[in-house]
Amino acid sequence: MGTIAIIAAVILGISFMTFVAFFGRLPALRNTPISFLHRLIWIHLPNGLLTVDRTLTNGRLTTSLTRLGRHLWYDQHPTILIFFFLLLSVGEYLYLPVAWPHFSFTHKFFGTIAILCPYLFLYLSAFTDPGVINAKTHVREMARYPYDFTLFHPGTSCETCRLLKPARSKHCSICKKCVGRMDHHCIFINNCVGANNQRWFILLLLSTAILTLYGGVLGLVIIRAKIQARFPYWTLLPWWTSTQAWNNGDLDFHRWLLLWSWGLQSGVAMGGVTLLALLTTPLVWGLLGYHLWLVYCGTTTNESMKWQDWQAEMDEGGVYKRRMAADGSREKDLKVEPAWTRWPVEAEQLMVRTEDGKPPRSSHRLPGEGEWEAVWRLKDVENLYDIGFWDNLVDVFLPYFMFKESKGRSPVDEREFGRERGRNRRRSS
């Protein structure tokens, strides 16, 4: 039992701490024990250690560790990517020599595919341009999505890149670049997850989830067969054991655990990897489910935090919306907006927050028409970027899919935005 306990405790501890580290800041987990643990680990404990270090070493140790921590967390480097690659490859190196001879031809065929796919999608996720916005790609990215006048407003510039920020883009402080439809920066791929590589990232999660589940179950089947070959009355779960075996004293709960330990120790390497796969697979499937939920909602990790910020503003009061031109006839400012985008719908509303909690007074300076309406719930706000689950999937897996043609324009006519901006510059000069 000692071997099982140690392996399980280490794996569960690593999985849980990984979950807290990466998900503790999510708005959905605010005011939960996960959020409290995240603050304890990343705020309160470091502050306590800082106080002790200032007393003992005048802060020299903390300065060195802070510099190292900032490099690991806020600089672009392949350390975690290499760790993830080694976790896959070393785990398979320990697992396959024992397990492979027990596989049927079918399991060998599908197992080979399951083993290779994570490496393929890891490469594509890590080395595909996520949608970096620069002078060459700016016009194309501006024509990808319209501004929704809720989360994204025209006219906002990136102070670092010195470019107008396209709708749904964000500047990554780690990559030091703006990325189109930015979801988040993932240290496991040493790259941002953006418009051009989100499909590969989702397939990486899917293939890794399948690999951990498939490998864990097959390993479990091999261990079970090995134990039952010598102890036929043993079952995978204690309540599946026949009543006769329990009554005869052939198997009680303590002996059931001892036989589990014996099965693992007869092939420690494969048994340890099997436990690792089974205990981490819920985390990987959870990550996959979370990102598919974001696709279903037509949003990203970055945008979900913006929506939660709006909900916090609504709770305090002072959030108002009004409709945009119902016939889509709003005159666009071509100095800061594209004349046309590939997206099938345009902004339906303008949402603002006022400091005094009253409707905006200078309405004529703001786009839209009609009266201002107080907003208290997110479900009363239209998400311009949610066009249905299947079309959302198309947008993720075919990032340049043309959802509409406008006034006879073809995809190359996205350059019209650049020409309009050039004409406006000449007029203003």
Q: CA nearest 41: which of 24, 26, 65?
A: 24
Token pair 């499937």 in the structure block, residue = 285
- Evaluate whether 211 touches 91 at the Cβ level (below 8 Å): no
Q: Is 172 a catalytic residue?
A: no
SS (H, E, C) the chain: CHHHHHHHHHHHHHHHHHHHHHHCCCHHHCCCHHHHHHHHHHHHHHHHHHHHHHHHHCCHHHHHHHHHHHHHHHCCCCHHHHHHHHHHHHHHHHHHHHHHHHCCHHHHHHHHHHHHHHHHHHHHHHHCCCCEECCCCHHHHHCCCCCCCCCCCCCCEECCCCEECCCCCEEECCCCEEECCCCEEECCCCEEECCCCHHHHHHHHHHHHHHHHHHHHHHHHHHHHHHHHHCCCCCCCHHHCCHHHHHCCCCCHHHHHHHHHHHHHCCHHHHHHHHHHHHHHHHHHHHHHHHHHHHHHCCCHHHHHHHHHHHHHHHHCCEEEEECCCCCCCCCCCCCCCCCCCCCCCCCEEEEECCCCCCCCCHHHCCCCCCCEECCCHHHCCCCCCCCHHHHHHHHHCCCCCCCCCCCCCHHHHHHHHHHHHHHHHHHC
Q: Copy the structure tokens of residue 200.
A: 């590969």
Q: CA nearest 352: which of 390, 313, 400?
A: 313
Token pair 């089947």 in the structure block, residue = 221
Report how far residue 287's alpha carbon sits from residue 205's, in angstroms, rounded to the nearest whole number: 7
Q: Catalytic residue among 161, 178, 186, 192, which?
A: 186
Q: Catalytic site residues?
A: 186
